[in-house]
């Protein structure tokens, strides 16, 4: 849903590189720390997708109209800020 898998793949690749770089002598430990960092983010993305699914995929015309109207009426600056907040809060390379 909404490109979150692509975002997670890019974050995961970056995080894996960082963890391997910081623990170059111990790749098993690097992979374990990578998994510990990325798993909670992946779980939140999955939970978010499941929450959004009914709103995005519901076929009832009135619900689609309400969703589309809400999105049209939301100021662009607010959508951008919320998007940045969502993706900034999810970083597998933070320590």
pTM to 2 decimals? 0.64
Question: What's the confidence (pLDDT) of residue 90?
Answer: 62
- Give the pLDDT band (50/70/90) at residue 2: low
Question: What's the confidence (pLDDT) of residue 95?
Answer: 47
The answer to whether the beta carbons of residues 30 and 19 sit under 8 Å apart is: yes
Is the pLDDT at 94 greater than 50? The verdict is: yes
Phi, psi of 92 (to 5 degrees): -85, -5
pLDDT in tens, 7-58: 888 889 999 999 999 999 999 999 999 999 999 988 888 888 888 788 778 8
Report the run of H or E that residue 17 belongs to, with start and end.
helix 4-22
The answer to whether the beta carbons of residues 59 and 4 sit under 8 Å apart is: no
Question: What's the confidence (pLDDT) of residue 41?
Answer: 87
Q: Given the structure tokens 């076929």, which residue do they identify?
A: 59
| Rounded Cα distance, 95 and 58, in Å | 39
| Rounded Cα distance, 30 and 51, in Å | 32
Task: List CB contacts of 19: < 8 A, sequence separation 6 or more.
Answer: 30, 31, 33, 34, 37
Is the pLDDT at 1 greater than 60? The verdict is: no
């Amino acid at each position: 849903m909404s490109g979150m898998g692509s975002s997670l793949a890019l974050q995961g690749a970056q995080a894996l590189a960082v963890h391997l770089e910081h623990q170059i002598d111990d790749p098993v430990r690097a992979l374990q720390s990578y998994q510990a960092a990325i798993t909670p983010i992946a779980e939140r993305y999955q939970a978010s997708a499941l929450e959004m699914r009914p709103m995005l995929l519901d076929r009832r015309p009135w619900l689609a109209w309400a969703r589309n109207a809400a999105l049209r009426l939301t100021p662009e600056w607010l959508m951008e800020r919320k998007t940045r907040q969502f993706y900034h809060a999810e970083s597998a390379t933070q320590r």
